[in-house]
Structure 1
Amino acid sequence: MPRAVDRVRRILEERVGPAVVRAAAPVEVSAWHAPGEPVPFAEAVRAEYAPFAVGTPWGAPWSTTWFRLRGAAPAAPAPGLRAELLVDLGFSAGAPGFQAEGLLYTPDGVPVEGLAPRRHSVPGAIAADGSVDVLLEAAANPDVLRDLSFAPTPLGERATAGLEPLYVLRRADVVLVDLEVRGLEADLVVLAELASALPEDSTRRARILVALDAACAALDLDDVAGTAARARAVLAPALASPAVPSAQAITAVGHAHIDSAWLWPIRETRRKVARTIANVLALMDEDPGFVYAMSSAQQYAWLEEDQPALFARLAERVREGRFVPVGGMWVESDTNLPGGEALARQFVAGTRWFRDRFGVDGEGVWLPDSFGYTAALPQIARLAGKRWLLTQKASWNDTNRIPHHTFSWEGLDGTRLFTHFPPVDTYNADGSVPELLHSERNFADAAVATRALLPFGHGDGGGGPTREMLLRLARARSLEGVPTVEIGTPQAFYRAAEEELTEPAVWAGELYLELHRGTYTSQRRTKQGNRRNEHLLREAELWAATAAIRVAAPYPAVALERLWRHVLLLQFHDILPGSAIAWVHREAVADHAAITAELEALIASSLAALAGEGDALLLANAAPDPRRGVAALGVGAPTPPRSGAVTADGSGFVLEDEAVRAVVDAEGMLVSLVHRASGRETVPPGTRGNRFQLHEDHPVRWDAWDVDREYRATAVDLDGPAEVRADGDAVVVVRRFGRSSLEQRLRLVPGGELRIETTVDWQEREKLLKLAFPVDVRAERVASEVQFGHVERATHANTSWDAARFETSQHRWQHLGEPGFGVAVVNDSVYGSDTTRIRREGGGTASLLRLSILRAARFPDPEQDRGAHRFAVGLLPGARVVDAVAAGYRINLLERTVRGGGAVEPLLAVEGEGVVVESVKLAEDGDGDIVVRLYEALGRSTEAAVVLGVAHEGVEEVDLLEDPLAPSALVGVDGGRARLRLRPFRIVTLRVRRPHGRRA
């Protein structure tokens, strides 16, 4: 390190930094400790406050203390001095967030600014006469992460977090800030960082070092304030040297990534949003060039409800174009785990909310931190009117580097989405010179492009962008040695980037994150609630729409919207993946149960209205069956159930029907599964299926997030003695292991499926439970369902990319096939799996598909997943992909029986194998039109028809927001038949115009 830089750093630390504050006067502090959960300002302002001394501990974990601060500036501010309120709640310097936070209010309840570990000083708290009279809502949020220690902690649940105070009020003063000294501080920091980063033989570096030496000589260390201007004048030429023409052009966008829940509960996120937005609006009042982008309509909705005055100010800045809603989604959701319709509704709910409140739709998808990106996303995003995607998470890959930062991402169906990974490799940038240089040097597309985006600001309660960041970025606007920096909007960046890079490179397929693979399995109850309620929402909309059309029942639009929004919130990328504290998942499980109860009531009400009076037994089936080429969704007479027979064979039990013959041995293992039509045995010789395997699960870090590949070295087969017996049409297997136990029911169900229903009492720690099925099929690839289709992934590890996919996600089904024969595995709530090839006794290879059932990580929830769990899996020998699609719906959408007067004609039917109806509902705008969403599920071009069972005045193709599209799939309407021509995995939404006067 050059001596000049070392000298500058010591001067900054010991002289310039302390000289920013010219004078200080303590304020009078009193406090009231709110009992229980947070209270609104109106209640806090009426409370009785007691004197509170600086240096006193405060704040049990998750508690709230309200401080009243009163005082005055130490002297009348002179030119160049500004009075600010400086409060230190006991912050640690280790991180910009993850600890105590605060929000200041005027005595009449107007939010001023927030306090955070790196944002102590608030000029807005000073009245025009220099006095201070404010209330401070201080949140004692514990540091659950503890400097990335990942140690099991009781702090993630209020009931176990303890009552001892976490913080000490260290300081509460009115100070006079010397703006000239603050400017000098920024000058010195920027130039010292730049000198440290440039090559030793750089002419630019040598000249900066000379300037730093001269500035230090010009600065009187005993009178920093008096000589700051002189030192800045010495530095001015070095700061005025412009950037070179070939420098990277950075668009800096203010941002604060705020997880909607993570190491804090949802109720705390609502306060984090308010604190951050108060800060942002204060900066906008000071700096007319400051631009800020915020995603997640849910967070705007919280702010509108909790802080209407802040929201009104925000809305005004949106109209100015300086506060920019981005992303168009309800929350920054996970994208691997939500179902197809749910992922579509993220965009419908978010974009419609932005449109209704602000008159803007937003052009892009803003998902910096989700844990991988489904190949279905480009089509879904484009159908929601989005043109671009921003994410950064791929820079966390543990094996391979995606070779582009700006490119065209091609999804499942061929749709392309202009995509940018900020090469700064963070969504919480601070605008430092090292970050700017990393952005330029790291940029994979530098040979063909110059533009990059830099999101800057402290997230997750850190308070967002700071005044110091803006000072640094202002100096880098055009500075020799670093990229140029312009604060602007994401839209401006993407338009410029698209104009510059007219033929971007293409990345096809999913953006698989080579990390956080455990999120497909952690917190099973949260995932199971999500899967259940996604399908109940499908049913509720279908039957409510049918009842509205057929019997004029009121359509519960308000309730459905509210329930959809709640499910969408719970799909946030630290809730559904299972990577949040115990508090979050306790609430998520309870919320899902309440949603389930309300949806079941809505479904029952609609079916009762449809069935009418009578005692006939009717069947309501919402599961499409794309195998037969006709999928009708209605209420009619049930078909007699068919059950497979169970017989004992001396060493186990045989289950058989006209389609399948299965043999379970005395240890509860599946030793034979024969497809009767072909005579094909699907269990490879010498192997057994239905085998549970227990692995040690000790990731290097990120416990609930990660499954490391080393887990495979520790497999323990749970194939010892088990209780096996026949019970009616099922074989029951009871097994005990470790401190846990499980019970299974194996039975045959119509459709050629062996159904395995399992209950597990899970009491392990730091273990991973897998369920293995060897399959006598030589499959190069495994097909796994994703939203509105499926992807195929290699079953080998030929390349580093293949090897890195040692744990992957799926939705309802997977399929292993060779020409002429295949086997499907379906599930009702399992998302993680691995598929490999194994040696086959007698020669060749077979396949091994293993489902990831349960984990027992200890951070951030030390009791993760302990207790009882239930899940169902189905095996279909001889299945085609279309059979897998049908069975996947069937295991998740069970038939319902209802008594009434007679059958009800379905609203529609679909002609065309492999074409699936995903959603039937009434239009979002309330005009009574029917909206049908369907997709091609097999990955092939095909023709189909929607046969309508209702009177209509026309059918049009629309986007996800139900706005008209130029027809691309709809080729004609002949009476009651809407004819479609579909490309592989195409999503189509049709709006059936109802006759005037017959609106529901």
Structure 2
Amino acid sequence: MYPERALLQERLARFRRDHLEPAVVRDRVPLTITRWDAPGEPVPFDEAAAASYTRADIGDPWGRPWGTTWFRLTGAIPGAWHDQPGTRAELIVDLGWTGGPGFQAEALAYRPDGTIIKALEPYNSWLPVTGDAIDVLVEAAGNPDLNTDFRPSPMGDKATAPRDPLYRLRTVEAALLDEVIIELLADLDVLDGLMAELPESSPRRAEILAATQRAVDAVDPDDVPGTARAGRDQLADVLARPASASAHTVYAVGHAHIDSAWLWPVRETIRKCARTFSNVCDLMDRDPDFVFACSSAQQYAWMKEHYPDVFARITEKVAEGRFVPVGGMWVESDTNMPGGEAMARQFVAGKTFFLDNFGVDTEEVWLPDSFGYSAGLPQIARAAGARWFLTQKISWNQTNKMPHHTFWWEGIDGSKIFTHFPPVDTYNAQLSQDELAHAERNYADAARANLSLAPFGWGDGGGGPTREQLAAGRRAADLEGSPRVRFSTPRAFFTEARELDTNPPTWRGEMYLELHRGTLTSQARTKRGNRRSEHLLREAELWASTATLLRGAAYPYDELTELWQLVLLQQFHDILPGSSIAWVHADAERNYAAIQSRLEEIIAQALSVLGDSAAGSTMIANAAPHARDGVPAMAIGAPTTATPATVVADGDNHVLDNGSVRAVIDPHGRITSLIDAASGREAIAPGGAGNVLELHRDIPNQWDAWDIDEHYRRNVVELADASASEAAVEPDGSAVVTVSRDHGRSTITQRIVLRPGADALEIETVTDWHERQKLLKLGFALDVHAEHSSAETQFGHVRRPTHVNTSWEWARFEFCAHRFLHVGEPGYGVAIANDATYGHEVVATPRAGGGRATTVRLSLLRAPLYPDPEADQGEHRHVVAVRPGAGIAEAVELGYRTNLEPRRLAATQPVDPLIRIDNPAIVVESIKLAEDRSGDVIVRLYESLGGRADGLLTTGFPAGEIRETDLIERTPPEASGAVRTDGDGTALALRPFQLLTLRISPAS
């Protein structure tokens, strides 16, 4: 930069600081302040308004952590203010802000009648004035800032948080604002930002700099209000110069990403939503061009229940097309860990809410902040009627940069969804010139369609879009040197982008986030609660449907809907991943316990209806798919009569054998041999072992609960020494070896079980865990030359290479698997199933004697310190099953069997399954009654092996019409051709991994 230019810009900065900004407020008067501190949790407005208030003063401390203080502000507007044109009166409230918005004190302002005005946040600290008398009640939340210092803090648990106030009241006044000076400052903000992005030698930059100097010359520092208009006039020409024909176009969409829980509990999220949404509605009343997009049906439902006046305003704005529901999901959930049916229900619940309440059918998936996107998601989204997908989080990748910003994303079944990845690289944009310039420079697909989307507004309770952001966007609508800005809806952007981009590239498979890998393991109790709840829900629906169809019992629609919605809420991308404060996870664990109790009661009631206690004969409802029909949770048969397993000593080793599987366990609990009788082949690699417990140092570079960084591998201790070992055959005929280990302050007890007739060895690990910043893994060295691993994802499995040829493969050192992982070579493989584990690692390793083997490790436990310093402390239970000689079909079956326990049913005769399919490759994932309460039966099934599958579907109840639907149980615009009904039943022809939803009307 030339010295003269630096001096000129320094002059401009000082003139703004010393003369323009202080002149914005022409006059001010203090208000009278009184206060009332709510004694515990937040209270309704009526209770707060009726409380006894005491005097408060500027400088007073307030806001104990998680507490609520109500302030009453009263006063009057001076009559002289009415006679000053070009001004407006507002209330200015500074509660003692300590930084940026969203992670500290926030407030909601009410009129005396209880109607909401708007919210107060650090960058939105004003309230409108109507009339001369001022009487406002302010509900101020003393939320602690847990985001600025990534160290352990007691603040994340209300029980351990200190009691001292966090804030001091700084400003409470009525102010008369000069509107011309405000506009002049907005002009200068945009032009100053634009100059910073232009090359130093740019004539446009020199032109703008000269204009700003003329503006400074035109404004008299002794009479800023009287000369500010002259300053604006000097800038009019440079602001009117149009953008170039090739300028990038940014579709600016108002937004406020609000985590449904994170560094605050769910109860505070409800208040954050009310604050932001009231701001948004107020801004819409003032600016007819403002459009706001908001996802998460759960957040709308909270408004409907807790803030009906806010919901009424939202409903009005939705009808105007300016408050735009997007996403179609119940929450912005994690997509790695939810099971297939749960992922489907995110859309069923979300889209149904939007349709029922607003008549809006959302067509985009809106997930800017989730921690990676599963390969099964494109098919689920398309089956729900979505056409477009938006995310931003992949810009956080540590190693590789996504090659595209607008592209087709293809899932495991071949379904494609048109996807945009905003090059602005933030979902909280301010529409500043540096952000707009970054979006233009960063956009990878400009040759095909030179436009992108930018979500703008303060998130997480920061209040959403502001007047200042709208002012910046308007000035950049058509400005030389800047990308064009167009205020828009997501639908308008996606429609135009798709029309212009006629040949987008394709990205196939998962969009793996090269960061936050630890979220697959942190807060193990939350993950176990989710897995157990998913399976209990599908069991409850199936047994309740059976009782309704076969015995005429009432179907518990309302209770199942309520429980599903609670489970879906807790799949939010900072709850299920384990990255929230202690309060959030304590609530989640209590919720899961209640969910389990209520679902067990529903199941018991259905079984009671189906059974006949007088008959006294006990049948077993086998919870896994079985060889003939692939239907989970429905096969009825007698208790097993398989020959008991044996356990014998062989030196220091124990040998378990049941005729199908033979396992050798050494004194340290390691599996040194595992052979299935069918193949006679050894599954354990030469010199290797299975059931190897390893403890790693786990100190991420930054984000404790979120990250596992690659350097963890370089610090590992094998927990080889057993403190106790014993073997026995139990009364049910199972051979069991029990091994105990002590390490540090933790104790690990394992039961290695071979059941009569079983084809898999089970390992139950109970850990009393008291480590800090450690990672516990369970490993298996397998004598398998596997080029790929196959890990279950929603409605199928995803294959990942075991080698590391590229940086993309290197970065995928920890990945997600659902119920099973399979590694194999032609003709032989091993399946490993789990009951609550998601983090996995698979690596190719040298094989003693030549060739290569494959090592599989499951991540059982972590011990992060932030944001919950007590994360995962205490007792945990994990079950892993290992089946040698298994293909993918056996892995699918083992995954179900490990997660669904048998149900006992007293009945005079077996209860036939509601649905049978004669091809086990076609798996029935769920059976329920239709959401519209018509009594129709909804069946969700999928092809599980990755190949084509034909099958005949028959029903265990009199059935009428059988037709294909989408996930929302509507007739799809185009049928897949997978269903053909004739006199013998319903023929199915599924392509690889195809997901299919059927609606079956019972015969009348």
* 1:355 aligned partner: 355
Answer whether contact 1:54 1:169 (CA < 8 A) is retained.
Answer: yes
* 2:234 aligned partner: 234
* 2:593 aligned partner: 593
Instruction: Name the CA shift for 1:11/1:727 in 2 (closer, same or farther; >3 Å).
Output: farther
For residues 238-269 of structure 1, the C-alpha deviation after alignment (integer angstroms, 9 at most, x for no partner) is 10000111111111010000000000000000
For residues 712-756 of structure 1, the C-alpha deviation after alignment (integer angstroms, 9 at most, x for no partner) is 000111112431101322100111111101111111134410000
Aligned pair 1:824/2:821, yes or no? no
Instruction: Name the CA shift for 1:626/1:403 in 2 (closer, same or farther; >3 Å).
Output: farther
Aligned pair 1:510/2:518, yes or no? no
Answer whether contact 2:630 2:923 (CA < 8 A) is retained.
Answer: no
1:472-551 aligned at under 5 Å gives the runs: 472-551=472-551
Aligned pair 1:992/2:996, yes or no? no
Answer whether contact 2:819 2:834 (CA < 8 A) is retained.
Answer: yes
Distance 1:403 1:860 in 2: 33
For residues 897-937 of structure 1, the C-alpha deviation after alignment (integer angstroms, 9 at most, x for no partner) is 12233321221111113110000001110010111000001
Instruction: Name the CA shift for 1:641/1:3 in 2 (closer, same or farther; >3 Å).
Output: farther
* 2:732 aligned partner: none
* 1:39 aligned partner: 43
Distance 1:274 1:871 in 2: 40
For residues 173-215 of structure 1, the C-alpha deviation after alignment (integer angstroms, 9 at most, x for no partner) is 0101111110001001110111111001111111001101111
568-577 vs 792-801, greater mean Cα deviation: 792-801
| Fraction of identical pairs, as percent | 55
1:665-684 aligned at under 5 Å gives the runs: 665-684=666-685
Answer whether contact 1:632 1:908 (CA < 8 A) is retained.
Answer: no
Distance 2:135 2:179 in 1: 24
* 1:736 aligned partner: 742
Distance 2:769 2:392 in 1: 36
Query: SS in structure 1 opposite 2:159?
Result: helix
721-730 vs 54-63, greater mean Cα deviation: 721-730
* 1:943 aligned partner: 950
1:965-984 aligned at under 5 Å gives the runs: 965=972, 966-975=974-983, 977-984=985-992
Answer whether contact 1:627 1:914 (CA < 8 A) is retained.
Answer: no
Question: Which of 145, 153, 162 is equivalent to 1:143?
Answer: 145
* 1:912 aligned partner: 919
TM-score, normalization by structure 1: 0.98
Question: Which of 116, 134, 137 is equivalent to 2:136?
Answer: 134
Distance 2:421 2:576 in 1: 24
Instruction: Name the CA shift for 1:928/1:627 in 2 (closer, same or farther; >3 Å).
Output: closer
For residues 527-557 of structure 1, the C-alpha deviation after alignment (integer angstroms, 9 at most, x for no partner) is 0000001000010000000000000010001
For residues 139-188 of structure 1, the C-alpha deviation after alignment (integer angstroms, 9 at most, x for no partner) is 0000012x2x2111111001111100000000100101111110001001
* 2:864 aligned partner: 857
Deviation at 1:79, TM superposition (A): 1.9
Distance 2:103 2:641 in 1: 59
* 1:112 aligned partner: 117
Instruction: Name the CA shift for 1:65/1:240 in 2 (closer, same or farther; >3 Å).
Output: same
* 2:853 aligned partner: 846
Instruction: Name the CA shift for 1:7/1:920 in 2 (closer, same or farther; >3 Å).
Output: same
Distance 2:88 2:356 in 1: 40
TM-score, normalization by structure 2: 0.97
Answer whether contact 2:630 2:916 (CA < 8 A) is retained.
Answer: no
* 1:559 aligned partner: 559
Distance 1:642 1:132 in 2: 84
* 2:325 aligned partner: 325
Answer whether contact 2:964 2:979 (CA < 8 A) is retained.
Answer: no
621-630 vs 889-898, greater mean Cα deviation: 621-630
Deviation at 1:634, TM superposition (A): 4.4
Question: Which of 946, 960, 963 is equivalent to 1:953?
Answer: 960
Distance 2:321 2:383 in 1: 25
Distance 1:29 1:153 in 2: 33
Answer whether contact 1:59 1:140 (CA < 8 A) is retained.
Answer: yes
Query: SS in structure 1 opposite 2:690?
Result: coil
Query: SS in structure 1 opposite 2:741?
Result: strand
Aligned pair 1:71/2:72, yes or no? no
Query: SS in structure 2 opposite 1:742?
Result: strand
Runs of 4+ in 1 over 6 A off after TM superposition: 627-632
Aligned pair 1:646/2:647, yes or no? yes
* 1:264 aligned partner: 264
Deviation at 1:648, TM superposition (A): 1.3
Counterpart of 1:987, as a letter, is L
For residues 293-323 of structure 1, the C-alpha deviation after alignment (integer angstroms, 9 at most, x for no partner) is 0000000000111111111111011001000
Aligned pair 1:604/2:610, yes or no? no
* 2:126 aligned partner: 121
Aligned pair 1:774/2:765, yes or no? no
Distance 1:643 1:572 in 2: 45
Deviation at 1:618, TM superposition (A): 1.2
* 2:719 aligned partner: 718
Query: SS in structure 2 opposite 1:159?
Result: coil
1:409-424 aligned at under 5 Å gives the runs: 409-424=409-424
Distance 2:984 2:359 in 1: 36
Counterpart of 2:609, as a letter, is A
Aligned pair 1:619/2:620, yes or no? yes
Distance 1:441 1:982 in 2: 44
Distance 1:709 1:589 in 2: 30
Distance 1:263 1:14 in 2: 38
Aligned pair 1:872/2:876, yes or no? no
For residues 118-147 of structure 1, the C-alpha deviation after alignment (integer angstroms, 9 at most, x for no partner) is 111112xx22x22210100000000012x2
Answer whether contact 2:892 2:944 (CA < 8 A) is retained.
Answer: yes
70-79 vs 321-330, greater mean Cα deviation: 70-79
Distance 1:593 1:975 in 2: 46
Distance 2:909 2:631 in 1: 22
Instruction: Name the CA shift for 1:900/1:465 in 2 (closer, same or farther; >3 Å).
Output: same
Distance 1:118 1:387 in 2: 35
Deviation at 1:8, TM superposition (A): 2.0
Instruction: Name the CA shift for 1:936/1:969 in 2 (closer, same or farther; >3 Å).
Output: farther
* 1:24 aligned partner: 28
Instruction: Name the CA shift for 1:632/1:370 in 2 (closer, same or farther; >3 Å).
Output: closer
Deviation at 1:629, TM superposition (A): 6.4
Aligned pair 1:928/2:935, yes or no? yes
* 1:837 aligned partner: 844
For residues 782-833 of structure 1, the C-alpha deviation after alignment (integer angstroms, 9 at most, x for no partner) is 1100010000111111100000001001000000100000000000000001
Answer whether contact 1:731 1:746 (CA < 8 A) is retained.
Answer: yes
Deviation at 1:637, TM superposition (A): 3.4
Deviation at 1:622, TM superposition (A): 3.4
Deviation at 1:948, TM superposition (A): 1.2
Answer whether contact 1:636 1:904 (CA < 8 A) is retained.
Answer: no
The alignment of Structure 1 onto Structure 2 pairs a total of residues equal to 990
* 1:102 aligned partner: 107
Distance 1:558 1:870 in 2: 32
* 1:892 aligned partner: 899
Instruction: Name the CA shift for 1:520/1:629 in 2 (closer, same or farther; >3 Å).
Output: closer
**Unpaired runs of 5+ in structure 1?**
none
Answer whether contact 1:855 1:865 (CA < 8 A) is retained.
Answer: yes
Deviation at 1:227, TM superposition (A): 1.0
Answer whether contact 1:611 1:903 (CA < 8 A) is retained.
Answer: no
Distance 2:236 2:161 in 1: 53
Question: Which of 74, 86, 96 is equivalent to 1:90?
Answer: 96
Instruction: Name the CA shift for 1:594/1:800 in 2 (closer, same or farther; >3 Å).
Output: same
User: RMSD in angstroms over aligned alpha carbons?
Assistant: 1.2
Query: SS in structure 2 opposite 1:853?
Result: strand
Instruction: Name the CA shift for 1:627/1:557 in 2 (closer, same or farther; >3 Å).
Output: same
Counterpart of 2:679, as a letter, is S
Answer whether contact 1:703 1:859 (CA < 8 A) is retained.
Answer: yes
Answer whether contact 2:626 2:635 (CA < 8 A) is retained.
Answer: no
Answer whether contact 1:763 1:867 (CA < 8 A) is retained.
Answer: yes
Answer whether contact 1:956 1:970 (CA < 8 A) is retained.
Answer: no
963-972 vs 790-799, greater mean Cα deviation: 963-972
Distance 1:904 1:679 in 2: 38
Instruction: Name the CA shift for 1:57/1:608 in 2 (closer, same or farther; >3 Å).
Output: same
Counterpart of 1:11, as a letter, is F
